[in-house]
């Protein structure tokens, strides 16, 4: 966003231009926002259009440096503790089913180090896990897991997200 400011600064023909640049970095594989920042810059210039261009350029450079620092910090953290993965589970008939899945992940699934419920609404849950390993192997483990009265079927697997559907094995 660019706005014109004061004209005739200190008796000159200079005009001020204010630029604000906002950005979010979204991880393509799971559509999660992994970094965001906003930068505001003021520039004085004789030409309002050239000043706007210069203000946007300066703000964009500062913003890029800020986002780069945040992304590098995230990558370093993920390398130290393991990457964060997302499990989206639909078709859950009750919170009891979700609880069974979370307990299985936390207690008996190899490579899972942390399990956190992000959201549960109307039979759909988003679970964040810290996992060391490939998600294809995790999807295979979950397919073969024996839950009481239901099973999980993967519908989509990426490098850091699995979409699963809960399917009843028998009528409750």
User: Tokens for 137?
Assistant: 């192997």
User: What is the pLDDT at residue 172?
Assistant: 45
Residues 161 and 92 in one domain: yes
Looking at the chain, the whole-number percentage of residues with pLDDT higher than 90 is 43
Q: Does the pLDDT value for residue 42 go beyond 60?
A: yes
Average pLDDT (40-69) is: 91
Looking at the chain, the whole-number percentage of residues with pLDDT higher than 70 is 91
Residues 139 and 96 in one domain: yes
Name the pLDDT band for 166 (thresholds 50, 70, 90): very high
Query: Which H or E element spans position 88?
Result: strand 84-90
Q: Does the pLDDT value for residue 130 go beyond 90?
A: no
Residues 150 and 115 in one domain: yes
Residues 73 and 96 in one domain: no
Residues 163 and 86 in one domain: yes
> 62, 80, 98 — which closes off a domain?
80
Residues 86 and 75 in one domain: no
Q: For residue 62, what are the CA distances in angstroms to 4, 15, 165?
A: 20, 22, 43
Residues 90 and 57 in one domain: no
What domain range includes position 161? 82-168
Output Rg (C-alpha) for the chain, integer angstroms: 24
Residues 91 and 74 in one domain: no
Q: For residue 32, what are the CA distances in angstroms to 14, 90, 119?
A: 43, 18, 14
CATH number reported for the structural domain that contains residue 103 in this entry: 3.30.1360
Domain count across the chain: 2
Average pLDDT (61-90) is: 82
User: What is the pLDDT at residue 77?
Assistant: 67
Three-class secondary structure of residue 23 per DSSP: strand
Average pLDDT (98-114) is: 89
Name the pLDDT band for 29 (thresholds 50, 70, 90): low
CB 24 within 8 A of CB 35: yes
Q: Does the pLDDT value for residue 123 go beyond 60?
A: yes
**Cα(74)–Cα(137) distance, rounded to whole angstroms?**
24
Residues 66 and 96 in one domain: no
Residues 128 and 141 in one domain: yes
* Interval 131-165: pLDDT, tens: 877 778 888 888 998 888 899 999 998 878 899 99
Q: Does the pLDDT value for residue 120 go beyond 50?
A: yes
Residues 21 and 99 in one domain: no
């Amino acid at each position: 966003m660019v706005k014109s400011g004061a004209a005739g600064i200190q008796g000159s023909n200079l005009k001020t231009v204010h630029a604000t640049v906002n950005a979010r970095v979204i991880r393509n594989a799971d559509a999660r926002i992994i970094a965001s920042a906003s930068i505001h810059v003021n520039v004085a210039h004789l030409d309002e259009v050239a000043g706007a261009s210069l203000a946007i350029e300066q703000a964009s450079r500062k913003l890029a440096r800020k986002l780069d620092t945040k992304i590098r910090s995230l990558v370093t953290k993920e390398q130290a503790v393991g990457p964060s993965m997302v499990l989206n589970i639909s078709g859950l008939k009750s919170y009891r089913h979700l609880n069974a899945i979370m307990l299985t992940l936390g207690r008996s699934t190899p490579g899972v180090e942390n399990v956190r419920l992000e959201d549960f609404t109307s039979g759909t849950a988003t679970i964040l896990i810290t996992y060391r390993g490939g998600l294809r192997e995790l999807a295979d483990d979950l397919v073969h897991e024996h839950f009481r009265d239901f099973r999980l079927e993967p519908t989509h697997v990426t490098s850091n997200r699995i979409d699963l559907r809960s399917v009843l094995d028998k009528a409750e």
